[in-house]
């Protein structure tokens, strides 16, 4: 028999609804762009797992994801725009001063990531934020 408080909670809709979790449909290698075929919903509730496939689609895996395992937000990141050792535009902009040169990416990175970049001319290593077009802006 259900207790009166549980009955009241059910009547008021105060109990949590069953949530679904996003899981990988097959093993997915690190650095793979997630497509709708890579993920599905499971009836299990897994704390920390994504709850909608749309949250994962279009992102890139940071680690390998295994079939049937939950997909967590920290397992994914923005798609990589810059590969390690790639030559990229390196820019500095501040108060009307614009300097642009060529740099070599020392790390992989996507839009918004801060990576180390070596100035090709001076061989100085700087930290720069990757823009959507792949340009690295020195901060």
**For 1-32, how does the pLDDT look when each residue is reduced to its tens digit (9 = 90+)?**
445 544 444 555 544 555 799 999 999 999 99
pTM of the full structure: 0.67
- Domains of the chain, start order: 18-77 (3.90.1210.10), 80-138 (2.30.30.760)
- 86, burial (CB in 10 Å: exposed 0-12, middle 13-18, buried 19+): middle
- List the Cα angle 121/112/28 in 5-degree steps: 110
Nearest CA-CA partner of 111 in 137, 75, 84, 72: 137
Q: CB 117: neighbour CB atoms within 10 A? A: 27
Mean pLDDT, residues 101-129 taken together: 96
Give dist(CA 86, CA 126) in Å, integer.
15
């Amino acid at each position: 028999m259900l207790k009166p408080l549980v009955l009241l909670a059910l009547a008021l809709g105060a109990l949590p609804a069953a949530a679904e979790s996003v899981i990988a449909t097959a093993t997915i290698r690190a650095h793979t762009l997630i497509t709708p075929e890579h993920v599905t919903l499971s009836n299990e509730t897994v704390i920390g797992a994504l709850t909608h496939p749309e949250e994962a689609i279009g992102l890139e895996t940071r680690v390998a994801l295994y079939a049937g395992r939950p997909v967590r937000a920290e397992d994914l990141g923005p798609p990589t725009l810059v590969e390690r050792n790639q030559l990229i535009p390196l820019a500095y902009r501040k108060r009307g001063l614009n300097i642009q040169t060529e740099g070599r990416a020392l790390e992989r990175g996507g839009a918004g990531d801060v990576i180390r970049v070596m100035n090709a001319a001076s061989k100085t290593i700087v930290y720069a934020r990757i823009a959507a077009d792949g340009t690295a802006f020195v901060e």
